[in-house]
């Protein structure tokens, strides 16, 4: 299993609520249509409290069976459409391709 993690900075002209709303209600269904995905999560940053604030407003995690499935999915028409849509809510996105190692649990 391979996971693509996207670290997202919102567009400066969007407040957090508009960013959240667009990502969850408009972009997420487009991304969810990418073929070969085994899982998809969006994580919206909250109040960091006593922690230092991260330079990101959220992250997405997308699982694929392997690199070939990831490349095929992202290269598909649905992958292209989702990729092109990110300009509507994201100023920048940095990607990590990872191999997950579950240390404790995994339930929601």
Q: Assess contact for 92 and 9: CB atoms under 8 A.
A: yes
Give the residue numbers spanning the domain of 24.
2-47+56-98
Q: Is the dihedral of CA 23, 29, 35, 36 positive or negative?
A: positive
**Position 69 pLDDT exceeds 80:** yes
The CATH number of whichever domain residue 19 belongs to comes to 3.30.70.100
Give the number of other Cβ atoms within 10 Å of residue 57's Cβ. 22
Query: Coil, strand, or helix at residue 76?
Result: coil
What's residue 108's pLDDT?
A: 58
Q: Evaluate whether residue 36 is within a structural domain.
A: yes
Domain count, the chain: 1
Q: Evaluate whether residue 106 is within a structural domain.
A: no
**Position 106 pLDDT exceeds 80:** no
pTM for the model: 0.88
Based on the number of CB atoms within 10 Å of its own CB, is 97 exposed (0-12), middle (13-18) or buried (19 or more)? exposed
What's residue 107's pLDDT?
A: 63
What's residue 15's pLDDT?
A: 95
pLDDT band at 73 (very low <50, low <70, confident <90, very high): very high
Q: Evaluate whether residue 74 is within a structural domain.
A: yes
């Amino acid at each position: 299993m391979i996971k693509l993690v996207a670290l997202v900075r919102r567009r400066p002209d969007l407040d957090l609520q508009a960013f959240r709303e667009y990502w969850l209600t408009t972009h997420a269904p487009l991304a969810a249509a990418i073929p070969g995905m085994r899982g998809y999560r969006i994580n919206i940053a909250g109040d960091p409290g006593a922690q230092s604030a991260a330079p990101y407003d959220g992250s997405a995690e997308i699982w694929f069976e392997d690199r070939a499935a990831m490349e095929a999915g992202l290269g598909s028409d649905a992958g292209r459409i989702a990729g092109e849509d990110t300009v509507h809510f994201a100023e920048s996105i940095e990607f990590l391709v990872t191999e997950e190692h579950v240390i404790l649990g995994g339930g929601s």
